[in-house]
């Protein structure tokens, strides 16, 4: 993907790297850590994020081969500007112990099937619902935010054994979830360095 990096973004990453040494991370992990830290101006994400380089490499390949990207809310979709996404929240309804976000996950899975990249940055119940499906995801970026269920849903994601990017704390959100996906989207297929 050819992307023109604005001078402000370039300077922002320079300053980030002056304050946080990311050189010890493998390439894709470094890309995700830096994008997430950059999106929130929060250096603590460097020690809060949990992911595996091998899983990121497989997800990177799937993404660049055209795997669908599913998001839980339009705010996440708005942050992913160079790739179409699937968000079914507008079509979803709450009921029978199911939140709108959880229903939207069911609807999206019916649409895309297995092998998608799932980006959840808002609703813990969306992540919880995804874990009940046999979605066989290429990757789950599970970074919902909040004091009710966020940390617990991310812990359940890590325990599930699914390929994932998550974090330990309650923080997260649409911007950081989109940033994690963008890190994989912007990272070159060839081994050259990129922002």
Band of pLDDT at residue 1, cut at 50, 70 and 90:
low
Band of pLDDT at residue 8, cut at 50, 70 and 90:
confident
194 pLDDT above the threshold of 60: no
Q: What average pLDDT does range 171-185 have in this prediction?
A: 96
Q: What average pLDDT does range 17-25 have in this prediction?
A: 94
Band of pLDDT at residue 4, cut at 50, 70 and 90:
confident
Band of pLDDT at residue 195, cut at 50, 70 and 90:
very low
pLDDT recorded at residue 81: 83
What pTM value is reported for the model?
A: 0.92
CA atoms within 13 A on the CB side of 83: 28
* CB atoms closer than 10 angstroms to residue 49: 21
SS3 119: strand
Strands 139-142 and 164-167: parallel
Rounded CA separation 115/20 (Å): 34
**164: Cα separation from own chain's centroid:** 8
Active-site annotation, residues: 38
100 in Cβ contact with 52 (< 8 Å) = no
Order of strands, sheet of 69-71, starting from the edge strand that comes earlier in the sequence? 49-50, 164-167, 139-142, 117-120, 69-71
73-102 pLDDT, tens digit each: 999 999 998 899 999 999 999 988 899 999
Rounded CA separation 177/180 (Å): 5
Of 134 and 71, the structure prediction assigns the larger pLDDT to 71
Share above pLDDT 90 across residues of the chain, in percent, rounded to a whole number: 84
143 in Cβ contact with 173 (< 8 Å) = yes
């Amino acid at each position: 993907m050819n992307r023109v990096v604005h001078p402000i973004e370039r300077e922002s990453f320079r300053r980030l790297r002056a304050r946080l040494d990311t050189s010890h991370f493998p390439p894709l992990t470094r890309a995700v850590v830096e994008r997430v830290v950059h999106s929130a101006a929060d250096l603590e994400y460097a020690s809060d994020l949990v992911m595996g380089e091998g899983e990121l490499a497989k997800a990177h390949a799937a993404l660049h081969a055209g795997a669908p990207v599913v998001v839980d809310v339009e705010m996440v979709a708005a942050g992913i500007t160079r790739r179409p996404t699937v968000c079914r929240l507008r079509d979803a309804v709450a009921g029978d112990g199911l939140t709108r976000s959880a229903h939207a996950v069911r609807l999206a899975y019916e649409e895309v099937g297995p092998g998608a990249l799932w980006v959840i940055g808002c609703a813990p119940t969306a992540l919880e619902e995804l874990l009940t499906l046999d979605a066989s995801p290429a990757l789950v970026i599970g970074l919902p935010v909040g004091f009710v269920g966020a940390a617990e849903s991310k812990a359940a994601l890590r325990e599930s054994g699914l390929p994932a990017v998550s974090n330990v704390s309650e923080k997260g959100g649409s911007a950081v979830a989109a940033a994690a996906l963008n890190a994989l989207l912007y990272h070159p297929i060839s081994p050259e360095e990129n922002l």
